[in-house]
A and B are shown apart, each in its own frame.
Chain A
Amino acid sequence: MSLCLQARQLACERDDRWLFEGLDLDIRSGEIVRIEGPNGSGKTTLLKILSGQHSDYQGELFWNGVAMSDTREHFLANLLYLGHAPGIKSGLSPLENLAWYQALSGESGNEAQRLEALESVGLAGFEDVPSGQLSAGQQRRVALARLRLTPRALWVLDEPFTAIDRDGVAALERQLVAHAQAGGCVLVTTHHELTASSLLRRIALG
């Protein structure tokens, strides 16, 4: 089954100002969709609406042709959302953080998987350090390890490149392309210039 996220006549108003109006979107398997726009143009709001977090909007959302409100559980079971805040508990080690996220998705997983995921984001050796002692970039990398740990078809990533170093950015970009090529779908906002490819589509706001 291919995935398909559709928005029809999406509109959102904030403080008497329309962030966007009459937005029609069709997001399908094998695409990287980059949402562009200046600061304050509603990129994060749009991502939150599309990932089912905001209900304060007009228009309709469809997941595989079914209205979002009727298929929310199926949608959430295939969604991986990484927001502005990395969602990493400073009091827990990277391993413990990942274990909780894995359990939240309903699988107990095992330590070897989590170690491997941490190694893939360059955090080998930091598994048991309290996350509060890691740098901002390293904390972001712990969150990014979830991309490898929990296979989900739809990735919604809000500024995933924040605080990541140059090598990390290149690796993450490759990972996004690989995910799209494998039939997944990536929805991303970033101020970083993504390498042009046939998979990349742009949506400009503001």
Chain B
Amino acid sequence: MRASLMPLHDHKGGLMIAVKATLMRDLTLMLRRRGEMLNPLVFFALVITLFPIAISPDPELLAVIAPGLLWVAALLAALLSLDSLFRSDYDDGSLEQLLLAPQPLAALGLAKVAVHWLLTGLPLALMAPLLGIMLALPAGSYAVLALSLALGTASLSLIGAIGAALTVGLARGGVLLSLLVLPLYIPVLIFGAGAVQAAIMGDGVSAHLAILGALLAASLMLAPWAIAASLRISING
């Protein structure tokens, strides 16, 4: 018997469908695991609560260090949640399926990072002004704090995802992830905390925010490719 031939098809596109479905899937998964989603927020609140207790409740002293404290704590909270970005996909085998999809991996990775920022970075930015009150952050700098964090955490998610992709194959990649990623966070931290500092001093904040925006644009351009390459390296090992 001669077997009939099954038609082979060319890659038909459908990138937007795949990206949208990945966004929806990750959003649904995260919203069903609310505990995990709340962890970075609770961590952020608790760390900020510790400072007035440990240093001094003196509002004048706290106001000086508040921008730096808020930024460092938010940065660590964002870092804390990064380890799980690709971990569960790696464990249940859907990551290898993601790599075998006939779609550019960079775009699918970007969708996953976008969900991470929406459910971690953005809530952290919205919560920060509230914690600013606790640290007696001077009036007039609250909006800048939220805005700088919203811009900055997007870069943090993108850069951190490269580290998360590189360490996803390791059993205890958490510490290594911090070592890899924290040095790369320094520029974002400098200009993020600087923006709030400038707002308190009454200087113009647009320069700082513009640089944060530039950092975000650069990471948006470069990070997706680095994430895709890192995922391939992790799966290959």
A91 located at the interface, meaning its Cβ lies under 8 Å from any Cβ of chain B in the complex: yes
B29 located at the interface, meaning its Cβ lies under 8 Å from any Cβ of chain A in the complex: yes
B233 CB, min distance to chain A CBs, angstroms: 10
Instruction: Indicate which residue in B12, B96, B99 contacts A106 across the interface (CB closer than 8 Å).
Output: B12
Complex Cα distance A183/B96, Å?
26
Q: Which residues of A contact B108 (CB under 8 A)?
A: 104
A105 located at the interface, meaning its Cβ lies under 8 Å from any Cβ of chain B in the complex: yes
A175 CB, min distance to chain B CBs, angstroms: 14
A111 CB, min distance to chain B CBs, angstroms: 14
Q: Interface residue count for A (Cβ, 8 Å)?
A: 47
Complex Cα distance A186/B37, Å?
41
Q: Which residues of B contact A85 (CB under 8 A)?
A: 91-93, 96
Instruction: Indicate which residue in B3, B4, B92, B236 contacts A90 across the interface (CB closer than 8 Å).
Output: B92
A-B contact number at CB 8 A: 130
Q: Place the interface of chain B in its size category.
A: 35 or more
Is A105 in contact with B94, judged by CB distance below 8 angstroms?
Answer: no
Instruction: Indicate which residue in A1, A55, A96 contacts B25 across the interface (CB closer than 8 Å).
Output: A96
B14 to chain A: closest residue by CB = A106
Q: Which residues of A contact B25 (CB under 8 A)?
A: 89, 92, 96, 100
B 20-62 contacts with A by CB, 8 A: 20-22, 25, 28-29, 32-33
Given the contacts A53-B236, A91-B32, A3 and B102 also touching, CB distance less than 8 Å = no
Q: Which residues of B contact A (CB under 8 A)?
A: 1, 3-15, 17-18, 20-22, 25, 28-29, 32-33, 88, 91-94, 96-103, 108, 232, 235-236
Q: Which residues of A contact B (CB under 8 A)?
A: 1-3, 29-30, 51-56, 64, 73-74, 76-79, 81, 83-92, 96, 99-101, 103-108, 153, 180-184, 198-199
Residue pairs across A and B with Cβ atoms less than 8 A apart, 23 shown, are A79-B100, A87-B97, A89-B88, A89-B94, A90-B92, A91-B29, A92-B25, A92-B29, A100-B22, A100-B25, A101-B97, A103-B14, A104-B21, A104-B22, A105-B14, A106-B14, A106-B15, A106-B103, A107-B12, A108-B17, A181-B3, A181-B4, A183-B5
